[in-house]
């Protein structure tokens, strides 16, 4: 798997799937989640509502992933994953790693060849970006997958720099 970095907007990535740092309701929110729903259009929300009604009435569990259409995004699929809220007193790094493993599992089930990841949990969920980068890159590197192109799309220069530091290791 080729792993690369892009500084920019994940909603503009011409890949098979973009990963959404979703909230458990699957009904949209702020940050990456809000941007994906706004740009992708109502088709994404409609499919999320159907998934919620049929499988995830209590919400998608942290660390899990599920796919929907990408609506008007240049991608074909959106893989929604719920990252953990950062806690200095409780180690939730396994839950964060699970977001990336589960996203790759869903990608393999769909035959996806290219995928774009955000820095899951490193925004409003408060995960320190340097640690989020270490977990994200390490997990994607070590997870067996048929995906050929995995890119991390980072919105801010600080996030890009943190991921670039980890990629070099």
Tell me the catalytic residues: 33
CB-based burial label for 132 (10 Å; 0-12, 13-18, 19+): buried
Q: Residue 78: which H helix or E strand, with range?
A: strand 77-82
The β-bridge relationship of strands 65-69 and 77-82 is: antiparallel
Side by side, the strands of the sheet bearing 114-117 are: 2-7, 149-154, 114-117, 17-22, 77-82, 65-69
Residues 6+ away with beta carbon under 8 Å from 144: none
What letter does residue 75 receive in the DSSP assignment? S
What's CA 104's distance to the chain center, in Å?
10
DSSP-assigned beta bridge partners for residue 153: 6
CB atoms within 10 A of CB 155: 18
């Amino acid at each position: 798997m080729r792993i690369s970095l892009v500084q920019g907007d994940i909603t503009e990535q011409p890949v098979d799937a973009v990963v959404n740092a979703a909230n458990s309701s699957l009904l949209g929110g702020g940050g990456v989640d809000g941007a994906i729903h706004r740009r992708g259009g109502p088709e994404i929300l409609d499919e999320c509502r159907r998934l919620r009604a049929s499988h995830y009435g209590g919400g998608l569990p942290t660390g899990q992933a599920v796919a929907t259409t990408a609506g008007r995004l240049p991608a074909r699929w959106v893989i929604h994953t719920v990252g953990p809220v950062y806690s200095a007193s409780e180690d939730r790094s396994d839950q964060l790693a699970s977001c990336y493993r589960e996203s790759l599992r869903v990608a393999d089930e769909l035959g996806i060849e290219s995928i774009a990841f955000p820095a899951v949990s490193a925004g409003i969920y408060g995960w320190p970006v340097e640690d989020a980068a270490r977990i994200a890159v390490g997990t994607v590197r070590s997870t067996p997958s048929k995906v050929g192109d995995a890119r991390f799309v980072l919105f801010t220069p600080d996030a890009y720099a943190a991921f670039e530091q980890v990629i070099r290791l």
